[in-house]
Amino acid sequence: MPYRAPVQEFQFLFDQVVGLDQVRATDRFADATPDLTEAILTEAGRMCEQVLSPLQRSGDLTPARLENGVVRCSPGFDGGYKAIAEGGWMSIAADPAYGGMGLPMAITSAVNEMMSSSCLAIQLNPLMTQGQIEALENHASDEIKALYLPKLISGEWYGTMNLTEPHAGSDVGALRTKAEPNGDGTYAITGQKIYISWADNDFTDNVCHLVLARLPDGKPGTKGISLFMVPKRLPDENGNAGVANTLKVVSLEHKMGLHASPTAVMQYDGATGWLVGEPHKGMAAMFTMMNNARLGVGVQGVGVAEGAMQHAVAYALDRKQGATPIEGGTGAIVDHADVRRMLATMKADVFASRAIALSCAVAIDMAHATDDPEWEARAAFLTPIAKAFGTDVGVAVAQTGMQVHGGMGFVEETGAAQFARDVRVTTIYEGTNGIQAMDLVARKMMDGGEAAYRLLDEMEASAEEARGSNPVMAEAVWQACESLRETTEWLVSQSDLNERFAGAVPFLHAFARVLGGHYHLQAAQADKGGPREKLARFYIKRLLPEHAGLLIHARSGASELYDLSADELAA
């Protein structure tokens, strides 16, 4: 079915739920007026509907391939990339000094979501470039900025991120890639990287690889890692792509999904690179890109959920099966209670995960605009929640979409299964969702839980305000916040981090569930008697209560996890 960009939903969330008005009130983002926001969303939505959406199915059926060392992309992807680049969608949040729009990350996130809904395989490309742009803006020398940023922002070149090695997955500090000084300010990069998204293509002049490597005097572990810009082709004296660098695509991964996105094993054989940031400080620079990508990946999950939901709703409205159980029904399976349950759950979770992601983006924007440490803490706290919950919702909604299709969901021709195959990896990359949860209960609570408590205070105050018009829903949200506060206090009190880690994933999901109730309640307040109030009632009555069981799990500690020995687990 054709994809429909949910432009009005974004506008509602910006205006009534996540507070984009406070971003617009800052000097930095004063140009992000409602009219400009609407124009950007409308135009980007049109591109997604008309140009990118047709590539979704064709890219899956005709994957990217490696021929004699050259990556051949799926048919039509050159035109899709051109539309993204020429529309300026690579660079919505990038610095205007180098050709970017300088607009809020919240608007970038909305556009990225629409691209993800229409064709996730191609949206991976601008997501990597956006992260690289931010890393270079914050850490690169003026010379590197002047050379690379204009070309990345225009889409003439694009960027990748090279962290993982065959023996070193999440343990980045175990990497073996070496960087030897050449004596002229450049470095010879030697090593192998795996799982490199959009490592190459056949439609741009250059590919800019950010590569983690260790200098000869680099200490073991992450503290001895540096970051390097290693382009596919070396820039000539005019800054154009020149001779080929000594790097190559060894192979393309045979993946469960995202077949049109070339994910490669990369080999660097003394390739020429330039240091980005300070020696041995590469992880700090790379984390700038990774944090950008973590929100972006959460948004990808929401985007695929939206696409899968639209696909399932269209099928449910059309498919005739069984007797209609309600008076005046349509005769289609949408009349059946269980199908309604599935569709309403999909819709309610898409709203909740989208609101969390956009709230995280607003916090990032406010932190950039004000340098307020409380906004910085809010953005840092929400990032792992947005990433993990957004992608878990993407997986759950895609699976439920297949269930709505019944037997036809298992048949590839309907396209329902592709959403499930494509989105599955989002729970793994940029730090698995388990790692996100561990980060939430450890590093993000090094402040003694202050960022969490400030957020809970706001949620409870909002629920108090809603008691007059929505007493039942407001009380449910307020009580959920109190339960969440108690568990947060318990986690903060645990000095043994393994006790926290044992319940980290259920705690993150509980926090997301309660945040979802908070945002649904705000939507209900702004849409009295309308569909959003009805959806909020469904979420708060049927989905919010899940937080209680999750919190019990979160407080259970680690001991029972080790009751079964490794041998007993394997028996």
Which residues have CB under 8 Å from 68's CB, separation 6+?
none
| Tokens standing for residue 430 | 């940029």
The candidate with the shortest Cα–Cα distance to 449, out of 377, 523, 388, 390, is 377
Is there a catalytic annotation at residue 430?
A: yes
Contact present, 250 and 166 (Cβ < 8 Å)? no
CA 234 – CA 468 distance, rounded (Å): 65
Query: Can you spell out the DSSP letters for 315-365?
Result: HHHH-B-S---STT--SBGGGSHHHHHHHHHHHHHHHHHHHHHHHHHHHHH
Q: Determine which one of 113, 134, 165, 430 is catalytic.
A: 430
How many other CB atoms sit within 10 Å of the CB of residue 484? Answer: 26
**Quick one: DSSP state of residue 51?**
I
Q: In angstroms, rounded to a whole number, what is the distance separating the alpha carbons of residues 337 and 324?
A: 10
**Cα(355)–Cα(536) distance, rounded to whole angstroms?**
13
Token digits of residue 82? 């051109």
Alpha-carbon distance of 169 to 516, in angstroms, equals 32
For 73, list phi and psi in degrees, rounded to 5: -80, 165
> Cβ distance 212 to 225 under 8 Å?
yes
Torsion sign, CA atoms 22, 27, 29, 30:
positive
Q: What positions carry a catalytic annotation? A: 430
